[in-house]
Amino acid sequence: RTFLQKVRYLSPCAVYQVGQLYSVAVASKNETGGGEGIEVLKNEPYEKDGEKGQYTHKIYHLKSKVPAFVKMIAPEGSLVFHEKAWNAYPYCRTNDFIIKIETWHKPDHGILENVHKLDAPTWKSVEVVPIDIADGEQVAPADYKAEEDPALFKSAKTGRGPLGPNWKKELVSKADCPRMCAYKLVTVKFKWWGLQNKVESFIHKQEKRIFTNFHRQLFCWIDKWVELTMEDIRRMEAETQKELEEVCRGTCVCVCVCVCVYDNASNRRRVQYLPGLTTLKTFRASVPF
């Protein structure tokens, strides 16, 4: 059985890459502590077939974050995930469970269809999930923080925000206003028969939650990263990796988050179809950058 989910996320920012990398580093540190967190095995530039970008290999540990019914039956070590990411092609897997997220970043309003060039029958099965970072109803009460609410935040350095209920329409009407839309295609493969529906439902809810919270933070943290250079980001990533190595020891625990680094120079589109039981969704989210 195949299920596709696509998330579209719009953001009023043109310097999305710096903000994304900064937010990934901060979020990684926030998720790590007390023997729980993310292990960064590799974080290095790569070049292959004319494509340049950043390659990362991380380990995510999920045991404390999955539903109880999964935790009770999961074999030891089965909730440990390896993520290998090349630009917009992250691939997160364990033997019985695979999550793959492919992302395209486009300077538009989230109006493009089938950005990942799926065949017609597959695209027809896609569920498109739009994310509005200013919509508080899309945020769980336990996740809400006033300082990370784009509907309240006002950037001192850029003047952006707060985002009102019609911010997307206002963004469309302002041709000179920067924007970026992230189109995320999520593929999930789960082999434990009898639990597919429950696990798939849990995963897709978590995907939307993770993407929503992350991009709300990215926008509200803009004053912290808008003046940073890529050299600053690389230094921060190296420091973060060292901190995670020191804190994350033994059995770690973390939500599995696959976040990509986009490469404007790359025009390649790759879709890998996974055998067996696979669920896919695409998310569409936008940010006014």
pLDDT of residue 187: 79
**What's the burial of 43, exposed, middle or buried (CB within 10 Å: 0-12/13-18/19+)?**
middle
Q: How far is CA 109 from CA 165, 262, 279, 285, in A?
A: 15, 17, 26, 9
- Characterise 34 by phi-psi region: left (phi > 0), alpha (psi -120 to 50), beta (else): left
Q: Are 242 and 289 in contact (CB under 8 A)?
A: no
Q: How many other C-beta atoms can be found within 10 angstroms of the C-beta atom of residue 77?
A: 11
Global confidence as pTM: 0.69
pLDDT of residue 271: 31
* pLDDT, tens digit (0-9, with 9 covering 90-100), for 257-281: 333 333 334 433 333 322 333 344 5
CA gap 222, 22 in Å, rounded = 10
Three-state SS at 26 = helix
CA gap 153, 39 in Å, rounded = 32
CA gap 244, 112 in Å, rounded = 38
Of the CA atoms within 13 Å of residue 48, those in its CB half-sphere come to 8
pLDDT of residue 23: 76
* pLDDT, tens digit (0-9, with 9 covering 90-100), for 8-39: 556 655 466 777 778 777 766 665 554 445 67
3-state secondary structure 107-124: CCCCCCCCCCCCCHHHHH
Q: How far is CA 202 from CA 117, 126, 180, 199, in A?
A: 27, 18, 28, 5
Q: Are 42 and 164 in contact (CB under 8 A)?
A: no
Q: CB neighbours of 199 closer than 8 A, spacing ≥ 6? A: 67, 70, 190, 192
Three-state SS at 33 = strand
Structurally, how many domains does the chain consist of?
1
- Intervals of the chain under pLDDT 70: 1-16, 27-38, 48-52, 61-80, 87-96, 247-289
pLDDT of residue 277: 32
pLDDT of residue 161: 92
Of the CA atoms within 13 Å of residue 90, those in its CB half-sphere come to 25
Q: Are 181 and 11 in contact (CB under 8 A)?
A: yes
The residue among 283, 262, 286, 247 whose CA lies nearest residue 28 is 247
Which amino acid is located at 130 in the chain?
Answer: P
pLDDT of residue 38: 67
CA gap 139, 137 in Å, rounded = 5
Encoding tokens for residue 91? 């691939």
The residue among 287, 70, 104 whose CA lies nearest residue 191 is 70
Q: For 101, phi and psi rounded to 5 degrees?
A: -125, 120
pLDDT of residue 153: 97
pLDDT of residue 286: 53
What's the CATH code of the domain at 125? 3.30.530.20
Which amino acid is located at 41 in the chain?
Answer: L
Q: Are 85 and 178 in contact (CB under 8 A)?
A: no
User: Which residues span the domain enclosing 80?
Assistant: 2-287
